[in-house]
Structure 1
């Protein structure tokens, strides 16, 4: 591990708004703030909003600036990435944002039923070959509904045509009410000061001429889930820092490589 990463991990240990909980301790004692984030950390009863797979935390920090009446928590397993947003929030003195370092599969260990009002999923790996790892799969919907309020919202913002199409099909198969859906956000007229918060990688995708997809739906509780049975073409381009998505590249990539 490089010295820069080690320094970032050391910094995170001292940040009062960053929570890193070893799995062994979680199993032994549980998380003491579960169900008490507002009371214990934020010191208010404002709605709690999660950014899952937050990366550098651009959305969590950006939303916290815009909505002081809500509390935001960025969740990711990679602390070196999280450090950027955590450091920025600390330096700016933003009181309504925190960061949690954990696997998303364990999210219900950290939040009680109904403790979360909204979930943002920003530019996750589409996991085209592994449906159970897709953050909008029915496996995760079942997990999310345990911590969301009955009218809790889920936002997906993605560059991936595959993941966007899959999510739309999953939403339709399970009858979730859709509030907004577009496969070209910045030419839809829907973009506002919230949706126009851009992550580091999103800006790069836009510079490549790619469109951004967005869907917002209500995660109403379900007893049974239907996994969509549809064939969806794989994405045909390389995604930043996620390796090769398929055997093809976009024509723009091919041109740039010459």
Structure 2
């Protein structure tokens, strides 16, 4: 994507009512967003997050299918989720919002027990050991998710990375968390949850065309 196109998208994001772009400093010094998302959506419906939402395809598709649930996509790359934010406005999807920030700040964005469910879709597996702290299912991130989730809140991990799948399963079992479902190739398993296979991202479709297996884990964080 050219720099001019990126700048254009950044400017448009500034005008979108469904895009929130707090700085790290603002979140560290102001907690006004925490506990107030039902005010933003003007309802008390459940809140579901997509972390590392990319173009927002998953967020948008889930929002279309479930109008009584509020969906929030979070990503640092605003030029990517511009497409999702624009589509939501064009389709008048009032149950969608996007936040441009680092996922590590999630506990500054949401109050304790404010989120019902989390989706992590095709994250960077950060394979190098030195990048462990950036993996979205490491122990530190799980603690943050546990804080914002309601009791028994669900976390979904969908990835094409066998490494990420194995790493996460090992961590979950080792720490005593509850794995509700796990499979290394959901499109080859007739018992895969329908909501997992019904929504596909652009890249997921490409992976499937190449015959690459898509893995999935559904779990509850227990402490």
3-state DSSP class of the match of 1:195? Answer: helix
Greater percentage in helix: 2
Is this contact kept in 2: 1:63–1:194, CA < 8 A? no
Deviation at 1:191, TM superposition (A): 4.6
Higher relative contact order (CA 8 A, sep 6+): 2
Look up the match of 2:42. 43
Structure 1 runs, 4 residues or longer, greater than 3 Å off: none
CA distance in 1, matches of 2:138, 2:205: 26
Deviation at 1:88, TM superposition (A): 0.6
Is this contact kept in 1: 2:112–2:150, CA < 8 A? yes
Contiguous gaps of at least 5 residues in structure 1: 223-258
Is 1:134 the equivalent of 2:135?
Answer: yes
CA distance in 2, matches of 1:101, 1:195: 27
Look up the match of 2:22. 21
Deviation at 1:27, TM superposition (A): 2.9
Q: Deviations over 1:68-106 (max 9, x none)?
A: 121100000000001011111110001111001000011
CA distance in 1, matches of 2:196, 2:64: 10
Deviation at 1:23, TM superposition (A): 2.1
Is this contact kept in 2: 1:117–1:152, CA < 8 A? yes
Aligned residues: 219
CA distance in 2, matches of 1:219, 1:53: 19
Instruction: Output the aligned Cα RMSD.
Output: 1.2
**Alignment TM-score, normalising by the size of structure 2:** 0.95
CA distance in 2, matches of 1:19, 1:98: 8
Q: How does 1:1-258 map to 2 (within 5 A)?
A: 2-28=3-29, 30-38=30-38, 40-129=39-128, 130-189=131-190, 190-220=192-222, 222=223
Structure index of larger Rg: 1
Instruction: Pick closer, same or farther for the CA change 1:209–1:194 going to 2, 3 Å.
Output: closer
CA distance in 2, matches of 1:108, 1:50: 13
Instruction: Pick closer, same or farther for the CA change 1:194–1:159 going to 2, 3 Å.
Output: closer
Contiguous gaps of at least 5 residues in structure 2: none
Q: Deviations over 1:129-167 (max 9, x none)?
A: 122111011111111111111211100000000000011
**Alignment TM-score, normalising by the size of structure 1:** 0.82
